[in-house]
Amino acid sequence: MNPNPGAVTTSDMLFLEAAIELAEAGRMSCAPNPTVGCIITRSGDIIGRGFHRRAGEAHAEVEAIADAGGDVAGATVYVSLEPCSFEGRTPACAQTLIDHAVSRVVVGTVDPNPRVAGAGVNMLQQAGVRVDVVDLPSAARSIAGFAKRMGTGLPWVRLKSAASLDGALALASGESKWLTGTLARQDVQYWRARSDAILTGVGTLIEDDPQLNVRAPDLLAQGVKQPLRVLLDSRLRAPADRKMLGDGAPTLVVHDAEVAAPEGGPPDDPLQYLALADGTRDLRSILAHLGGLGCNEVLVEGGSSLLGSFVEQGLWDEWVHYLAPKLLGSDSLNMVQLNVPLLSSAPNVQIADACPLGPDLRLTLVREEDNV
Ligand SMILES: NC(=O)c1ccc[n+]([C@@H]2O[C@H](COP(=O)([O-])OP(=O)(O)OC[C@H]3O[C@@H](n4cnc5c(N)ncnc54)[C@H](OP(=O)(O)O)[C@@H]3O)[C@@H](O)[C@H]2O)c1
């Protein structure tokens, strides 16, 4: 893809990494679009910066051109994701860059959207603009959810759990609400804010009555869109007085087709029902439905049954696990409901990161393909 191998310098890489970092500024607001950051330089000096804030609004390249005062002729453009090649709600960015006579574009990763997929690079090259596609892992990682949805129709699935040192989610009594400290709970707010949907099971709804929303003032100040709450409740046994069902924010209750949903409210009712022919055990269908709604990332905040189902069905991509320095003893709820007859069939996960958060430890786990 890159017609100029070896032509990418260390300062190119630094500007590109800075563009990828800048893309994060749109993380909480740009879905269903991917995050994109753009930095424009002339003679080694930054003259413009931009990121994609919201679907339907200006793309990162357009923001950066405006930030540069409009004159970017002869400049170099560093963009985390390939410029788009088609006119949607905004004009094609590849054409905009050509019209502004930039001389070079350095791309972090090719757009996995089949409507682009290299066409933006081709457009630029055919217009005589030099393009370097670097294929940076950090650029690919920054759009992992979007890329997965484009490739499979399914969102990126991030499991979340908090357990004691001895691997318990809760006491048998159900008392578990504040297993971790303040920092870990604040961290969960971040993962919620970047998610398009949050899934939970009816067991958690009954025991904990969670709100599963974003409440951190700093995140709300950034204009975070509240994720869609998704409740898996095959037989519709959730008590009607639970917060998630009555707080006026969007909630989707997924149930088995044999069970009739209550009489429908108006089409814009925040509480919606989805009947699945194969039942709520069919997590792939639920994820496909969410992918169809444009969800790039979903967070699973269920109890041990739902966590077990995701592990069993091999439908997770990343796992954020908080380890609290407590012991809940043998009369407690095991973290994952899973039948593991042999050590050789035990699912393996890899620890990708370990980060202390006050008294707790956050582990970021990724799949080890063989056994999960
Ligand atoms: N520490 C933590 O991070 C954390 C997080 C969440 C919950 N919890 C604790 O977990 C406990 C609840 O555990 P739980 O296992 O009962 O809760 P859960 O996993 O949230 O809910 C389980 C229920 O969801 C329904 N369900 C529907 N589709 C499912 C599917 N595909 N897979 C699994 N379940 C599905 C089932 O009920 P139907 O058959 O009736 O549909 C099932 O009994 C509570 O004590 C809560 O405090 C802890």
The tens digit of pLDDT for each residue in 167-203 reads 999 988 866 567 999 999 999 999 999 999 999 999 9
Per-residue pLDDT at 204 exceeds 90: yes
Give the residue whose CA is nearest to atom 45 of ligand 1: 174
Q: Are residues 139 and 174 in the same domain?
A: no
pLDDT given for residue 263 in this prediction: 81
Task: Please state whether 6 falls in left (phi above 0), alpha (psi between -120 and 50) or beta.
Answer: left
Give the residue whose CA is nearest to atom 43 of ligand 1: 203
Per-residue pLDDT at 217 exceeds 90: yes
Q: Are residues 335 and 245 in the same domain?
A: yes
pLDDT given for residue 89 in this prediction: 74
Give the residue whose CA is nearest to atom 32 of ligand 1: 306
Confidence band for 87, pLDDT divided at 50, 70 and 90:
confident
| Strand locations in 180-278 (E) | 197-201, 228-232, 251-256, 271-276
Q: Are residues 20 and 105 in the same domain?
A: yes
Distance, CA 8 to ligand 1 centroid (Å)? 50
- Collapsing DSSP to helix, strand or coil, 294 comes out as coil
Read off the amino acid at residue 162.
A
Confidence band for 6, pLDDT divided at 50, 70 and 90:
low
CATH of the domain at 304: 3.40.430.10
- Collapsing DSSP to helix, strand or coil, 202 comes out as helix
- Which range has the top average pLDDT, 114-123, 220-229, 264-273, 319-328? 319-328
Residues catalogued as catalytic: 61
Per-residue pLDDT at 5 exceeds 70: no
pLDDT given for residue 193 in this prediction: 96
Domain closes at, from 90, 118, 146: 146
In-domain check, residue 4: no
Q: Is residue 33 within 8 Å of 11, Cβ to Cβ?
A: no
In-domain check, residue 217: yes
**CA 68 vs CA 45, 50, 64, 121, 357: distances in Å:** 11, 9, 6, 22, 40
Q: Are residues 106 and 237 in the same domain?
A: no
The Cα angle at residue 203 between residues 279 and 165, in degrees rounded to 5: 120
97 touches ligand 1 (CB under 6 Å): no
At what angle are helices 60-67 and 10-23 packed, to 10 degrees? Answer: 110
pLDDT given for residue 58 in this prediction: 87
DSSP state of 11: H
pLDDT given for residue 202 in this prediction: 98
Counted domains in the chain: 2
**CA 269 vs CA 88, 124, 211, 248, 249: distances in Å:** 29, 46, 18, 8, 9
Q: Are residues 23 and 112 in the same domain?
A: yes
Q: Are residues 134 and 157 in the same domain?
A: no
CATH of the domain at 50: 3.40.140.10
Q: Is residue 245 within 8 Å of 271, Cβ to Cβ?
A: yes
64 touches ligand 1 (CB under 6 Å): no
- Residue 175, φ and ψ in degrees, nearest 5: -70, 115
Per-residue pLDDT at 136 exceeds 80: yes
In-domain check, residue 102: yes
Per-residue pLDDT at 116 exceeds 90: no
162 touches ligand 1 (CB under 6 Å): yes
In-domain check, residue 2: no
- Residue spans of alpha helices (H) in 40-166: 60-67, 93-99, 119-126, 137-142, 144-152
Q: Are residues 164 and 185 in the same domain?
A: yes
Q: Which of 191, 126, 187 is nearest to 159 (CA)?
A: 191
Q: Are residues 117 and 166 in the same domain?
A: no
- Domain span at residue 322? 153-371
Q: Are residues 215 and 81 in the same domain?
A: no
Per-residue pLDDT at 151 exceeds 60: yes
Q: Are residues 202 and 316 in the same domain?
A: yes
Q: Are residues 320 and 175 in the same domain?
A: yes
Per-residue pLDDT at 4 exceeds 70: no
pLDDT (average), residues 285-311 = 97
75 touches ligand 1 (CB under 6 Å): no
In-domain check, residue 1: no
Distance, CA 198 to ligand 1 centroid (Å)? 13
pLDDT (average), residues 140-150 = 97
Domain closes at, from 146, 181, 211: 146
Of the ranges 33-37, 84-88, 92-96, 232-236, which one carries the lowest mean pLDDT score? Answer: 84-88
Per-residue pLDDT at 371 exceeds 60: no
pLDDT (average), residues 5-32 = 92
Domain closes at, from 146, 177, 195: 146
